[in-house]
Structure 1
Amino acid sequence: MQTLQQRKRWMSVLAHSPPAQLREHWQALNLRPSYHCLRAPEIGLARLQGRMGATGRRFVLGDMTVTRAVVQLEKGGQGYSYISGRDKDHAELCALIDALLQQPSSHELLLQRLIEPLAALQQEQRRLRASSVAASRVDFFTLVRGD
């Protein structure tokens, strides 16, 4: 069975994937599992809290729109998803893929052909963003004048 850390990783990859890229990779697999929604995709708000310096008192940063969904496969097994934003189709697809990733029959296929390519794309985007930020970085230093 999968560990909690593995599931956290694939849930993160699914939730952070752009919906168009996720659908493109999903459609390439040509899977048509039968399922039904236990909890149809719902849109709501989550309150974000922050701390000054990560140790100070909490303060309300603001609200964020989230969409959640829960599906159950006909064979058994449930999948859950929470995504930022208001895309109900994205939330339902993430929940479906989560349920399928928990099934031994489809776990390896989805991991190799869906999760790993999406994770690699996300890592490349992070690398490009970091190099773009690093290119505009300015180092400030202080010169001490001696007498």
Structure 2
Amino acid sequence: MIQPHRDPQQARRRDAMSILTHAATERIAACLVTIDLPPHEPARQPESGLVMVRGRIGGDGAPFNLGEASVSRAAVRLASGEVGFGYVLGRDGEKAKLIALCDALIQSGDLATEVEQKVIAPLRQERETARGQQATETAATRVDFYTLVRGEG
């Protein structure tokens, strides 16, 4: 099977969105302060709504409607024309707006590297550190069970 051509900018945006959605709103805002932001305006004000969450029995069974989850979305347009989108679980419209701004900045040729260095990289490092700490804490509570086999028989 032929693999579709992978766009490097699309991969960069996907990776950035993965990091940004797991970061706290305050941390994203603090990182963005270090960048000289270009003029921008909301293309879509932050708004919240519901999406249907679907599940599958055993992971591969028939799909069913599990329930609804609240989501927030926003869109930001830079003066140079790039439009960024942000979607997050929950009702945090400010976070959706900040993610949309980062998405637009990543598409900008002039600021993509700066956003990667000053926003995405520090947040990625914080996430990896938190995952490492959680793995260490989890490993400390691990219990190994051994079964002794009796020689009767």
Q: TM-score, normalised by structure 2?
A: 0.86
Which residue in 2 is equivalent to 1:51?
A: 56
Gaps of 5+ in 2: 1-6
Give 1:15 deviation, angstroms. 1.3
Quick one: distance in 2 between partners of 1:102 and 1:112? 15
Counterpart of 1:42, as a letter, is E
Quick one: distance in 2 between partners of 1:46 and 1:141? 46
Which residue in 1 is equivalent to 2:94?
A: 89
Give 1:39 deviation, angstroms. 1.6
Moved more, 120-129 or 36-45: 36-45
Give 1:69 deviation, angstroms. 0.8
Contact kept in structure 1, 2:74 and 2:86, CA below 8 Å: yes
Label 1:53 to 1:132 Cα distance change in 2 as closer, same or farther (>3 A).
farther
Of the three residues 2, 10, 13, the one matched with 2:16 is 10
Counterpart of 1:15, as a letter, is T
How many residue pairs get aligned? The number is: 146
Give 1:118 deviation, angstroms. 0.4
Gaps of 5+ in 1: none
Quick one: distance in 2 between partners of 1:35 and 1:2? 24
Quick one: distance in 2 between partners of 1:24 and 1:78? 22
Give 1:9 deviation, angstroms. 0.5
Contact kept in structure 1, 2:56 and 2:64, CA below 8 Å: yes
Which residue in 1 is equivalent to 2:82?
A: 77
Contact kept in structure 1, 2:9 and 2:107, CA below 8 Å: no
Contact kept in structure 2, 1:41 and 1:88, CA below 8 Å: yes
Quick one: distance in 1 between partners of 2:84 and 2:10? 14
Quick one: distance in 2 between partners of 1:140 and 1:51? 32
Which residue in 1 is equivalent to 2:132?
A: 127
- Mark the structure with the bigger radius of gyration: 2
Give 1:111 deviation, angstroms. 0.4
